[in-house]
Amino acid sequence: MSEVVSARAASASATREAIGRAARRLFNRQGYAATSVRQIAAEAGADPALVIRYFGSKERLFLETMPVEGRFDHVTHGPLEGLGRRLVTSLLTEAPELTFSIWRSMLRASDSDLVRERLVTAMEQMFIVPLAPRLVGPHAELRARLVAAQISGLLDAVAVLGDARITEASLDQLVVLYGDSIQTLVDPPIDPTLDEQN
């Protein structure tokens, strides 16, 4: 009896993994809205009912198979000195196509409340949580949020809009120019009037 149960569990696990792989491929290829549960099931060679059984909904399947958290942990948990340049370097050189694909998919699906909340939470976890407590000077949390905004802005320009003047620029140019602009938020502000504002 236990062997039968184990075999069923193994089969269920294999089917769930196949559905996850199929969903990831389709979401990356055609986006969230254009991908149906039936397409995912067909790609995985599974019954559409199993997609819902194992994942609950298309939204939850999307969120599970398109992870964004942790992408910049090795940078945001490191030294603050030079962090801006390291963030830009990481974004543009460490599996950039995967990052861009996930970002595009998340944005296209952001009309879903669950996906939008996950995206907001992911940005919080990637930037605000590790940076805000460590930034010196006034408005640390706001500055951490603006770092997140700058990274999302660069992602939009490259991955979504495909701005040719940016995508055709050299890596060195982008790292120095954009990285140093981010660094101005990381370093303590030198404007004394900021200390006087709430």
Closest CA to 183 of 79, 83, 78: 83
Name the helix (H) or strand (E) containing 194. Answer: helix 193-196
**Residues 55-83: what's their mean pLDDT?**
86
- Walk me through the domains of the chain, giving residue ranges and CATH numbers: 2-65 (1.10.10.60), 73-196 (1.10.357.10)
Distance CA 136, CA 46 (A): 53
Identify the pLDDT of residue 197. 54
Q: How does pLDDT run across 119-160, given as a tens digit for each residue?
A: 888 889 999 999 999 999 999 999 999 999 999 999 999 988
Q: Which DSSP string do the residues of 71-114 spell out, in sequence order?
A: TTHHHHTS-STTHHHHHHHHHHHSSHHHHHHHHHHHHHTTTSHH
Identify the pLDDT of residue 4. 54
Identify the pLDDT of residue 32. 76
Q: Which DSSP string do the residues of 1-42 spell out, in sequence order?
A: -HHHHHHHHHHHHHHHHHHHHHHHHHHHHHTTTT--HHHHHH
Q: Confidence band (pLDDT; 50, 70, 90) for 62?
A: confident
107 token code pair: 């944005």
